[in-house]
C-alpha cells in the first residue's frame, strides 16, 4: 500500500514564507556587516593616505605628556589615540626653542598646549615601542670647538643662532597649567655628545622631553640625558630617519581599550579618562538606538498630520 499523503508539512520543515523571511534577514545582516567592514577599510585607507605611515594612529601608554594628574582635551594623556603624520625631514619639525624665540619666524607655534611639534621616534633607531615626546631643539656636534682628548664636547643650536656651547638653558617658562612648578630646562650638550661618543660617534639630532616629565623631574635634563634604551645606555640625539612622524590630533580615551586588553591596571589611567570613555561608549550606543526609535515615529506622525490637512482641504 502506498503511504497516505498528508496536506500538512512535516513539523521539521519551516513554511516557505518563514524560510524566505529568514533568508532575507540573513542577506540583510551580511550586507550590513559588509558595509561596516568597507567603511572601516575606507577610513583606514584615508588615514594612511593623509598620514603616510602605518599604523596611522598610536596609543599613548604612559603619562609622560600629561599636563597634570587628570585627562584634558587637547593634551596627550594616557590612553589617547594620536594621529601620526609622516615628517619629510628636519624642516617639517618645529622645535620648542624655535617656537619660544620671539625672533624666530615660527614664534608662538604650539601643539598640544605647548611650543613646537610632538614627535614619535624610535629610541636610537632601534625597534620596539616608540617614544612620543616634544622636540625641544635640534643640536649639531661642533668638532672644531670640541676637544675629545680632554673630554670636552661642544655643539650648536643653529635654528636659534647658538654655536660652540657646552650647555644651553632654554629661556622662559614652559607653557603649562602649573607655571609655578615649571623650571628652565638645560640641555647639556657636553654630556650628550660625550655619552654618544662612548658608543658610536657624536652626531646631530633632536633632543626631546615629555611635557609631564619636564615638570615632575625638576632639574632633570632632556631624554638624551635621562632616557635609556633596553641596553641600558642613554638614547642618542634623534636622527630624522628615526622619526616615525609628527603627532597630530587625538581621539581621547579610546586607546584605553587596547591597554586594558594588554593587561594594564585601571589604576594606571586618569580616572577622568575612564569616565570619558564610558560616557562616549554609552552615547555611541544609545544615540543611534534613540534615533532609530524616534525618527520613524516622528516621520509617521508628520505624514499623518499632512494627510489630515489634505482631508480637511477637500472637505465641503
Among 98-107, 138-147, 231-240, 272-281, name the one with the lowest average pLDDT.
Answer: 272-281
User: Which residue pairs from 144-148 have beta carbons closer than 8 angstroms and sit at least 24 positions apart in sequence?
Assistant: 146/193, 146/202, 148/197
Query: pLDDT at position 274, please?
Result: 82
Supply φ then ψ for residue 139, to 5 degrees.
Answer: -115, 150
Q: Is the pLDDT of residue 4 over 80?
A: no
Query: pLDDT at position 208, please?
Result: 95
Q: How confident is the prediction for the chain on average, in pLDDT?
A: 83
Assigned domain for 299 exists: no
Assigned domain for 234 exists: yes
Q: Is the pLDDT of residue 294 over 70?
A: yes
Residue pair 276/252 in contact (Cβ under 8 Å)? The answer is yes
Assigned domain for 9 exists: no
Arithmetic mean of pLDDT, 133-158: 95
Residue pair 121/243 in contact (Cβ under 8 Å)? The answer is yes
Among 12-21, 235-244, 286-295, name the one with the lowest average pLDDT.
Answer: 12-21
Residue pair 48/222 in contact (Cβ under 8 Å)? The answer is no
Domain that holds residue 89: 56-276
Assigned domain for 65 exists: yes
- Distances from the Cα of 9 to the Cα of 2, 6, 18, 20, 23, angstroms: 18, 8, 13, 16, 19
Domain count within the chain: 1
Nearest to 239 by CA among 196, 203, 197, 187: 203
Query: CA 182, CA 180: separation in Å to the nearest integer?
Result: 6
Assigned domain for 281 exists: no
Query: CA 89, CA 252: separation in Å to the nearest integer?
Result: 28
Among 22-31, 227-236, 269-278, 303-312, name the one with the lowest average pLDDT.
Answer: 303-312
Q: Is the pLDDT of residue 178 over 70?
A: no
Query: pLDDT at position 316, please?
Result: 47
Assigned domain for 111 exists: yes
Nearest to 262 by CA among 61, 33, 1: 61
pTM over 0.75: yes
Per-residue confidence band for 13, with pLDDT thresholds at 50, 70 and 90: low
Residue with more model confidence, 285 or 111: 111
Among 72-86, 95-109, 180-194, name the one with the lowest average pLDDT.
Answer: 180-194
Among 89-98, 152-161, 250-259, 288-297, name the one with the lowest average pLDDT.
Answer: 288-297
Arithmetic mean of pLDDT, 8-27: 69
Q: Is the pLDDT of residue 109 over 80?
A: yes
Q: Is the pLDDT of residue 173 over 80?
A: no
Of 52-56, 192-196, 237-241, 312-316, highest mean pLDDT: 237-241
Query: CA 49, CA 273: separation in Å to the nearest integer?
Result: 29
Assigned domain for 67 exists: yes
Share of the chain above pLDDT 70, in %: 86
Query: CA 205, CA 224: separation in Å to the nearest integer?
Result: 10
Per-residue confidence band for 214, with pLDDT thresholds at 50, 70 and 90: low
Residue with more model confidence, 182 or 138: 138
Arithmetic mean of pLDDT, 164-175: 78
Assigned domain for 91 exists: yes
Amino acid at each position: 500500500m502506498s503511504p497516505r499523503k498528508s496536506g500538512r508539512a512535516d513539523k521539521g520543515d519551516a513554511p516557505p514564507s518563514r524560510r524566505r523571511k529568514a533568508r532575507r534577514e540573513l542577506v540583510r545582516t551580511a550586507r550590513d556587516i559588509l558595509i561596516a567592514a568597507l567603511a572601516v577599510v575606507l577610513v583606514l585607507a584615508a588615514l594612511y593616505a593623509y598620514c603616510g605611515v602605518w599604523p596611522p594612529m598610536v596609543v599613548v601608554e604612559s603619562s609622560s605628556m600629561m599636563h597634570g594628574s587628570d585627562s584634558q582635551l587637547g593634551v596627550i594623556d594616557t590612553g589617547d589615540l594620536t594621529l601620526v603624520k609622516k615628517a619629510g625631514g628636519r624642516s617639517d619639525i618645529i622645535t620648542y626653542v624655535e617656537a619660544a624665540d620671539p625672533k624666530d619666524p615660527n614664534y608662538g607655534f604650539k601643539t598640544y598646549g605647548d611650543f613646537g611639534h610632538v614627535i614619535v621616534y624610535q629610541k636610537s633607531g632601534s625597534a620596539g615601542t616608540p617614544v612620543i615626546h616634544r622636540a625641544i631643539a635640534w643640536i649639531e656636534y661642533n668638532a672644531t670647538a670640541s676637544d675629545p682628548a680632554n673630554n670636552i664636547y661642544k655643539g650648536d643650536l643653529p635654528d636659534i643662532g647658538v654655536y660652540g656651547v657646552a650647555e644651553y638653558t632654554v629661556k622662559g617658562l614652559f607653557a603649562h597649567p602649573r607655571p609655578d612648578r615649571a623650571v628652565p630646562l638645560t640641555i647639556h650638550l657636553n654630556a650628550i655628545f660625550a655619552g654618544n661618543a662612548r658608543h658610536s660617534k657624536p652626531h646631530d639630532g633632536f633632543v626631546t622631553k615629555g611635557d609631564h616629565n619636564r615638570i615632575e623631574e625638576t632639574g632633570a635634563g632632556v631624554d638624551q640625558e635621562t632616557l635609556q634604551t633596553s641596553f641600558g645606555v642613554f638614547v642618542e640625539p634623534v636622527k630624522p630617519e628615526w622619526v616615525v612622524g609628527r603627532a597630530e590630533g587625538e581621539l581621547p580615551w579610546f586607546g584605553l581599550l587596547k591597554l586594558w586588553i594588554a593587561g594594564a591596571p585601571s589604576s594606571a589611567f586618569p580616572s577622568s579618562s575612564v569616565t570619558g570613555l564610558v560616557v562616549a561608549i554609552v552615547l555611541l550606543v544609545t544615540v543611534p538606538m534613540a534615533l532609530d526609535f524616534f525618527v520613524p515615529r516622528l516621520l509617521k506622525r508628520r505624514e499623518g498630520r499632512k494627510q489630515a490637512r489634505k482631508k480637511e482641504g477637500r472637505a465641503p
